[in-house]
Structure 1
């Protein structure tokens, strides 16, 4: 064994290295896990992943996905060559985008007039045009966007990132969800569920505009004191560990226990993390909170 090899490299060389490494990454903070793997062809720069899913947003055909064939066939009877699910009164004729497109940046990317300001940074944006959905049903399309599959039962993208990369902070969740204050998209929390991955990788829903941003984070009953609440958590943890020792081969128990332990830590850490009162004025202004 190379004496200079990191623990990650050692585990990857073992027969169960992949499983062990994934487990350790999910358990340990990234900051204490050693150097990045030497298998990467470049030093990793990404520290976090932010996904914006905007259900009901403008069509890609009207923003950055120019279709010259639609221009050519505009007004002709549509024919997809196969059955296509349609809403309301069926399928109308082919229709080109009503907006003008022009090229932007050194890459010459075609973008419509409604997103023209993005042309200033278009060379820093990656566009993926080969994602295809086979259903026009909102719930199935949302599953496809959130999990990569158009049926339920699969982890959300954030759960995979959380499972693979772990967390930089043991007291805060590595995967958080900020839903629209008007309501969830189709499928609701199933879009950020962990499915068959450990439950601690599921998304933690946060509602910043509410008095209690994380539901059920603190006990609401008047008779629950800080002391009795702490004693209750300790008792539940002891019972869970006793139950786990009699079932050592069931990984779901450890995952559930870790979820409960994280919830207990959140009662302190999340309260501080979500308190914006100590942030400087320029930060409030950056996020449009100066008049909030």
Structure 2
């Protein structure tokens, strides 16, 4: 992953081509252009882009995709040996609580799904489910940092930064990594921008946050007094002065990255406004997503923007469903029925449309969709006027679609009431290794030297790729 001296074209011209030389050339190009597309590290990764639909707050696995009939049979019973400190509110622990949602089977795979997702459930035969995920924190901020960056502490590079560092971007006029958060004034996820930061990686690999209202990116409009010729001349002069002053210095590669970010901003002023204009889509596409529907139009616009980003070569897109505080996200401490019904109603149609739209355009097989949050929820009730569920780090479900994953497949199991991952447990590092593998990145090879160590997203605990999810 060290800095290149020649462009890919120059290296191929010098060496005569070949896959190994192509890979070497792509590495060499990265110093002068950190976003230059790079050859995947390993054969088999089909995903050129990744869309992570982040269900912020922690959706309940036993009320969505992890059907537990035993939970209904034991409704109201005390869970023997339960540690009330497992959740976040130990003083409001109730008995086991059956799901308030109806479950039925869908597709040839017979996948069980609650009535929260009638439209998304029509795609279960294209999806791989991991029912045995677990994490190490029961608190939102550290759990969010863990699922996004592989550690519970802030300041580390997130998955999107690692992916774009490893693969570059297919677009030369849009950010390689974009983030869209809740547009209904319900706040950012806890930990805010640290969830999409680049940590110790070069800053150009951090996520570009699209503002939920107004212009999605500041300063896209060129001042009327600045002609294209003058703007081009200013950028050229700035780059020349910077390079002349710092040629051969220790920070030259970082400076080159900063210069490239200026160039990208310049190109974005032309490309980005069109990419964000979802109203230019045909009426039948707008209707399919629910763009003009009050209950889901805001999330529909984000899912449709994600598809338009994929078409334009953006590498990693993260969409946050829900805002910051408790009932403003999937954090259903109170009224799990109303909380999850509301957020599912916002996202079900847009997510189903995104899958259909990518498929009909021939993009689904090269786009990995990930759905999931930072942890799950307990199978017991959190007491209140309308009972909810507290945090559960011991079990949660994530599904993937497209990007070469196996359709209608279910990996691992939680126990009979959905409390703990029980069979083929999948840690967050295992999940990260699997996402990287889908994009052709070897989690052990994808490293960055920091503080004298070869740092990586997946840590040093020997995580495993869940190979079974791939077709």
How far is the alpha carbon of 1:232 from its aligned partner?
A: 4.4
* Structure-1 residue corresponding to 2:20: 9
Distance 1:7 1:185, change over 3 A: farther
How do residues 169-188 of structure 1 correspond to structure 2 at under 5 angstroms? 169-181=171-183, 182=185, 183-188=187-192
Of 99-108 and 177-186, more deviation after overlay is shown by 99-108
Distance 1:140 1:107, change over 3 A: same
Whole-Å Cα distance in 2 between the matches of residues 115 and 76 of structure 1? 28
How do residues 131-210 of structure 1 correspond to structure 2 at under 5 angstroms? 131-181=133-183, 182=185, 183-207=187-211, 209-210=213-214
The question of 1:214 aligning with 2:217 is answered yes
How far is the alpha carbon of 1:139 from its aligned partner?
A: 1.4
Figure out how many residues of one structure are paired with residues of the other and give that number: 275
How far is the alpha carbon of 1:252 from its aligned partner?
A: 2.8
| SS at structure 1 position matched to 2:105 | strand
TM-score calculated relative to the size of structure 2: 0.49
* Structure-1 residue corresponding to 2:130: 128
| SS at structure 1 position matched to 2:217 | coil
- Pairwise CA RMSD of aligned residues? 3.7
* Structure-1 residue corresponding to 2:61: 60
Q: Name which structure has the greater RCO, CA cutoff 8 Å, separation 6+.
A: 2
Distance 1:246 1:18, change over 3 A: closer
TM-score calculated relative to the size of structure 1: 0.75
How far is the alpha carbon of 1:201 from its aligned partner?
A: 1.9
Mark the structure with the bigger radius of gyration. 1
How far is the alpha carbon of 1:215 from its aligned partner?
A: 1.9
Which of 105, 108, 130 is equivalent to 1:106?
Answer: 108
Whole-Å Cα distance in 1 between the matches of residues 245 and 289 of structure 2? 46
How far is the alpha carbon of 1:256 from its aligned partner?
A: 2.5
Higher strand share: 2
How far is the alpha carbon of 1:216 from its aligned partner?
A: 3.5
How far is the alpha carbon of 1:193 from its aligned partner?
A: 1.3
Moved over 6 A (4+): none
Is this contact kept in 1: 2:178–2:207, CA < 8 A?
yes
Whole-Å Cα distance in 2 between the matches of residues 86 and 276 of structure 1? 40
Whole-Å Cα distance in 2 between the matches of residues 100 and 281 of structure 1? 33
Query: Structure 1: where are the runs of 5+ without partners?
Result: none
Distance 1:287 1:107, change over 3 A: closer
Of 260-269 and 238-247, more deviation after overlay is shown by 238-247
Is this contact kept in 2: 1:200–1:259, CA < 8 A?
yes
* Structure-2 residue corresponding to 1:28: 36
